[in-house]
Amino acid sequence: MSGTRKSDTLSLMEHIDTFPTAAVAVVGDIILDEYVWGEVSRISPEAPVPVVDVKNQTIMLGGAANVVNNMVSFGARPILCGVVGEDEEGRAVLERLEQLGITTEGIVLERGRVTTKKTRIVAQNQQVVRYDREVRSRIGEASRLAILKAVKKRLSDLDAIVVSDYGKGVVTPDLMAELISLTRGKKIPIAVDPKPPNFPFYKGVSVITPNHYEAAAFCGFSITDEEGLVRAGKKMLCDLRCSAVLVTQGREGMTLFEKKGRVTHVPTVAKKVFDVTGAGDTAIAVFGLGLARGLDLRSAAIISNFAAGIVVGEVGTTTVKSDELKKAIAASLLEL
């Protein structure tokens, strides 16, 4: 927080109160996260593997749907645009979204496609195995057009678009080009949580938010020190012609590279770290809400870093609430 004045920090708090009015479209890969909870007390006589005695099963929204989940937790009502299959998992996704109180008009049911599901079998608090059921081929043209139609319908009141790319086929060069062209000349920033090797698709978006591994994969060199990080930031800004690149760095926090040349490092505020799953989704969700409500890039990054710092400190929780976020910011104010 060095260099941040008290008045700036107070203004961040005020912006959080405006999150419920943010109109955001989240476009991307919808995932259903399934957890099978059980206990292991013996090794199978059939093969050297543990036998899990299943006690419970839970599901959670993942991928782009978890980004939306994070936004809803701040009172926002985003529209989620993506694809599910005509299967039980697809119906579970729709049901969850309805429970969150948000529209499902942007969800396309693609015949012949399966809904991406990641199943973790957990025993004695340890993951025994994870298995995925998915197709990663590009979505069909009809699905792409339906997604674009849903975005277009909302365009006149949209404040921002967040693209959550998990490399499962929703984000294609055509879709990105069309989203960029729809928003041209309008004040609708596009922020992308990217996936290598799709980086070239994002040319011309406002901001991308890779983690440092993704940034290194695109740049073709490993990022081991500050010099490498700066080189990577500059390369991505230049190659993808973005206004900014926000590189998230796990326990090191995040670094914002702006086109104008300013580089801002935001150190993590996490005091305890229990579960880092979903931190990236929380970060892009809050960053997107911040941009939607008119925060500058730097303030949006600071606020998203606070939110991600909270979410990693909680086990099994993937979202943060406004009052928790404001409390964390208030606590840091005392330290200034």
Ligand X SMILES: Nc1ncnc2c1ncn2[C@@H]1O[C@H](COP(=O)(O)OP(=O)(O)OP(=O)(O)O)[C@@H](O)[C@H]1O
Compute the distance between CA of residue 310 and CA of residue 319 in angstroms, rounded to an integer.
Answer: 9
Q: Site mask, Mg ion, residues 118-157, x = CB under 5 A?
A: ----------------------------------------
Residue 278 interacts, among ligand X, Mg ion, none and using kind-specific CB cut-offs from 5 to 8 Å, with ligand X
Q: With respect to ligand X, which residue has the nearer C-beta, 30 or 283?
A: 283
Q: With respect to ligand X, which residue has the nearer C-beta, 151 or 266?
A: 266
To Mg ion, the closest distance from the beta carbon of 164 in angstroms equals: 9
CB atoms within 10 A of CB 145: 14
- Residue from 29, 281, 296, 323 carrying the catalytic annotation: 281
Q: Is the dihedral of CA 196, 111, 109, 95 positive or negative?
A: negative
Q: How far is CA 252 from the centre of its chain?
A: 18
Stretch that binds Mg ion, among 106-114, 140-148, 224-232, 273-281 (CB under 5 A): 273-281
Q: With respect to Mg ion, which residue has the nearer C-beta, 12 or 283?
A: 283
Contacts of 296 (CB under 8 A, 6+ apart): none
Residue 253 interacts, among Mg ion, ligand X, none and using kind-specific CB cut-offs from 5 to 8 Å, with ligand X
Is 281 tagged catalytic? yes
Q: With respect to Mg ion, which residue has the nearer C-beta, 123 or 236?
A: 236
Residue 116 interacts, among ligand X, Mg ion, none and using kind-specific CB cut-offs from 5 to 8 Å, with none
Stretch that binds Mg ion, among 163-171, 238-246, 276-284, 308-316 (CB under 5 A): 276-284
Across the strands, what pairs with 62?
Answer: 31
Going by C-alpha positions, the residue among 262, 310, 63 that lies closest to residue 162 is 63
To ligand X, the closest distance from the beta carbon of 283 in angstroms equals: 5
Number of residues that bind Mg ion (CB under 5 A): 1
Q: How open is the CA angle 179-202-175, to the nearest 5 degrees?
A: 35
Helix, strand and coil percent figures for the chain, each rounded to 5 = 40, 25, 35
| Antiparallel, parallel or unpaired: β 207-208 and 244-248 | parallel
Which stretches within the chain are classed as H helix?
A: 6-16, 64-72, 88-100, 141-154, 173-183, 212-219, 226-240, 279-292, 297-311, 322-335
62 binds Mg ion (CB under 5 A): no
Q: Both ends of the chain: CA-CA distance in Å?
A: 8
Q: With respect to ligand X, which residue has the nearer C-beta, 90 or 253?
A: 253
Burial of 156 (0-12, 13-18, 19+ CB in 10 A): exposed
Among 82, 280, 288, 313, binds Mg ion (CB under 5 A): 280
The residue at minimum Cβ distance from ligand X is 280
Residue 270 interacts, among Mg ion, ligand X, none and using kind-specific CB cut-offs from 5 to 8 Å, with ligand X
The residue at minimum Cβ distance from Mg ion is 280
To ligand X, the closest distance from the beta carbon of 54 in angstroms equals: 27
CB atoms within 10 A of CB 316: 11
Q: Applying CB under 6 A, which residues contact ligand X?
A: 211, 248-251, 253-254, 268, 270, 273, 276, 278-281, 283, 305, 308-309, 312
To ligand X, the closest distance from the beta carbon of 40 in angstroms equals: 26
To ligand X, the closest distance from the beta carbon of 251 in angstroms equals: 4
Q: How open is the CA angle 333-334-335, to the nearest 5 degrees?
A: 90
To ligand X, the closest distance from the beta carbon of 211 in angstroms equals: 3
284 with 304: CB under 8 angstroms? yes
Q: With respect to ligand X, which residue has the nearer C-beta, 72 or 188?
A: 72
Q: With respect to ligand X, which residue has the nearer C-beta, 78 or 253?
A: 253
Which residues are at the interface with Mg ion (CB under 5 A)?
280
Annotated catalytic residues are 281
